[in-house]
Amino acid sequence: MQNLVSLAMAGLFALQSATVAVGQDFKRHALHLPKHEARLAYAVQTVSVRAGCFPTRLRAILSHIAAKTGRRPIVTSGHRPHPRRHGSLHGKCLAADIRVPGISERTIIAAARSAPGIGGIGTYCNGIVHVDVGPQRRWVDC
C-alpha cells in the first residue's frame, strides 16, 4: 500500500514538473515574439499598403476593433508618404483606413469609439472606416 502511495506521489510530482516546464517554455517564447507577430490583430489589403510604421497606440486600436468584432480589420490604406490632404495623419503613419469583412460599418464604428486612445473616426461612402490617434473628431465624407 505504501509503495502504491509513493508511486502515485512520484507520478503527480513528475506531472507537475512537466507542466511547469511547459509553462515556462511557453512564457519564454511569448516574451520574445518576432516583430511581425504584433501585427496579427490586423491584415493589409495588398502588399503595397504601408502599415509597418504604425505606433503601438494605433495597433492597440486595431486590436481592440478585432476583439470587439471577432474579425481582423483589413487595412486598406496606412502610411502615405505624400498625402493628398495637407496635415493628414496618414503622412505621419498615425492613421489607418480599414474594413472588416462581414461586419457592418455601424459595428466597426461602435468598436472604434470604445477603443482606448482613439482619435479621429471617419466614414466614407464605400464602407471604409478611418481611425487615427490624433485629436478626437468624427466625420462622414460621402
Span 2-32, pLDDT tens digits: 655 554 555 545 545 444 443 443 333 333 4
Average pLDDT, the chain: 81
User: What domain range is 136 assigned to?
Assistant: 51-140
* pLDDT tens-digit series, residues 104-119: 999 999 999 999 999 9
> Do the domain assignments include residue 66?
yes
pTM greater than 0.85 = no
Query: What is the tally of structural domains in the chain?
Result: 1
Measured between alpha carbons, how far apart are the two ends of the chain, in Å? Answer: 80
Strand order in the sheet with 74-77: 43-44, 74-77, 95-99, 129-132, 120-124, 137-141
2 is a domain residue = no
Does the residue 6 lie in any domain? no
> Given this model, what pLDDT does residue 86 score?
83
Q: What whole-number distance in Å separates Cα of residue 31 and Cα of residue 26?
A: 9
pLDDT per position as a tens digit, 41-95: 899 998 989 999 999 999 999 999 999 999 999 999 999 988 788 889 999 999 9
Q: Per the structure block, which three cell numbers stand in for 29?
A: 517564447
